[in-house]
Chain A
Amino acid sequence: MAPRSLWNGAIAFGLVSVPVKVYTATESKSVHFREVHAKDGSKIEHRRICPKEGKPVDKDEVVRGYQVSARKWVELEDEEIAAAAGSQSRLIDVDHFVPASEIDPVYFEKAYYLGAQDKGHDAYALLHAALGKADRAGVGRWVFHNRERTVIVRALDDVLALHTMRFADEVVDPSDFDLERVRRKPSEQEVKMASKLVEGLHADFDPSDYEDTYREEVLKVVELKAAGKNIELPEPEETEAADDLLAQLEASLSG
């Protein structure tokens, strides 16, 4: 079945435009639960309550607001929020290029695929070939769902992939977290032994090597429960915190 596109428009690259359709590249596959009343499994509903009146509020009595001071709220309509998207352009203007391998993983937000539209296959093929050959990704802006995002466009397999990117001020700097002082730094010998351990565990990345075993384990618990059996709650594991680092490294290597 051909996938359904989410958006269509064009990528502008110099004076060349590449008509594209946007498709989702990812989907979540977790086990889904719903909230139920523990005693009998009845459905749980989320209701909007006015705490002042202690009563549920109908949808048409609800407005959206932003708090500007302790007692003052500014009401905003959906269209007014949509106005923040700026010009509702159908164009992703790619105006500069970066080496994609330089981008830290924290900036990547969500991935999409760009499909070619019926017209303009030649321009699509050209952009795909040139991005691949130059080993670059194009950076542009994309207005999607009334929100403007920074995106990169790169060649992936036979298609173009698009990634929405996080903004610099959304990314936490790891050095904002304080490290305790240590009396003694790891010794050269410890580093050497740990390096050997790392080497021994080196592998090529293949995501299919790491199945989601949790799903099966959850389904097992579900089956047990459905059969009316008791679920044994595990004792908390005792993990020994590192104290004799060298001895533990030695034991890991000989194990």
Chain B
Amino acid sequence: MPRSLWTGSLSFGLVNVPVAMFSGVRDQDLHFRQLHAKDHTPLETHRYCAEEDTEVPYDEIANGYETDDGELVILTDAELAAAAPHRSRTIDIEAFVDLEDVDPTYFDHPYVLMPSGEADGIQRAYRLLVEVMSRMDEAALGRMVMRTKEYLVIIRAREERLVLTTLLRHDEVRPTDPIPSPTKKDKPVKKEVDAAVELIESFSCDWDPSRYEDSFQKRLRAIVKKKAKGQAIEVPEEEDDDRTSPVPDLMAALERSLEEAKAG
């Protein structure tokens, strides 16, 4: 069982469900360590006081906040926790929404929420939430504080469990209007749109994440293996693909693409 990242309670009306939160992602990356070049001793990172030039134990470290006038205010973890004592321990469900209404730009990090405690009452309350949310196809919105940040979270039922995704705040998602986009005069004609839609439809399928593999990690593993055997690693050159320049005749390119698609 992995370690929980947060424990607290999920509150729905007057019903409180003690929960433990686990990461919804598993790190599959190859990890490197910094080594001492001469003998490959793995290096460690230690915290030093710049003033005294001595090592500082973890419990002597506090959070420094610089105010607008440059004054440094020192806060301990306990004092910081005083800022939002309730939300550090509780996720209050504030609303229920349709998941489809949340633009994917807002999705941040996924977690799994499991009931914490074996009491029958806890387990039943958890199941009740799962049951109701999956039957009604609704997702719950709430706010919680983890470490030094407050998160807006969305909770939904999946495989008889509750899963949680932290959402970005509205001011953390940038507006799209400063992004250069075509003007009205570039509007495609119907014939072009129809041909492009036909092309899209002929290459459409369901979303199946299992068909994509992390070829970067796979190649990295191969490189490590090769290097371990003392072989040289070739560094590929940048490819010069002529397809990066715009096509002169859009309609002709679409028609040829469609022909190729049909020829399969």
Q: Contacts A83-B234, A148-B216 given; indicate if A97 touches B36 (C-beta within 8 A).
A: no
Which of B18, B149, B170 sits near A214, CB closer than 8 Å? Answer: B149
B102 at the interface (CB under 8 A from A): yes
Using a Cβ cutoff of 8 Å, how many contacts connect chains A and B?
591
- On whether the beta carbons of B235 and A68 are closer than 8 Å, the reply is no
B interface majority secondary structure: mixed
Interchain CA distance A48-B256 in the complex, whole Å? 58
Q: Which of B31, B78, B119, B204 counts the most A-chain CB atoms under 10 A from its CB?
A: B204
- On whether the beta carbons of B148 and A191 are closer than 8 Å, the reply is no
- On whether the beta carbons of B128 and A186 are closer than 8 Å, the reply is yes
**A15 CB, nearest partner CB in chain B, Å:** 4
Interface size on B, residues (CB 8 A): 184
A interface majority secondary structure: mixed
- On whether the beta carbons of B96 and A125 are closer than 8 Å, the reply is no
- On whether the beta carbons of A195 and B40 are closer than 8 Å, the reply is no
- On whether the beta carbons of B43 and A16 are closer than 8 Å, the reply is no
B3 at the interface (CB under 8 A from A): no
Q: Contacts A40-B51, A102-B206, A242-B16 given; indicate if A14 touches B159 (C-beta within 8 A).
A: no
Q: Which of B154, B182, B183, B261 counts the most A-chain CB atoms under 10 A from its CB?
A: B182
On chain B, the residues within 8 Å of A88 by CB distance are 236-239
On chain A, the residues within 8 Å of B90 by CB distance are 237, 239
Interchain CA distance A49-B56 in the complex, whole Å? 14
B13 at the interface (CB under 8 A from A): yes
B263 at the interface (CB under 8 A from A): no
- On whether the beta carbons of A179 and B236 are closer than 8 Å, the reply is no
On chain B, the residues within 8 Å of A133 by CB distance are 193, 197
Which of B39, B76, B183, B238 sits near A52, CB closer than 8 Å? Answer: B39
On chain A, the residues within 8 Å of B5 by CB distance are none
**B187 CB, nearest partner CB in chain A, Å:** 6
Q: Contacts A171-B209, A231-B79 given; indicate if A243 touches B121 (C-beta within 8 A).
A: yes
Interchain CA distance A43-B60 in the complex, whole Å? 12
Q: Which residue of B lies closest to A91 (CB)?
A: B241
Interchain CA distance A215-B67 in the complex, whole Å? 13
Interchain CA distance A232-B132 in the complex, whole Å? 40
On chain A, the residues within 8 Å of B237 by CB distance are 88
- On whether the beta carbons of A172 and B26 are closer than 8 Å, the reply is yes
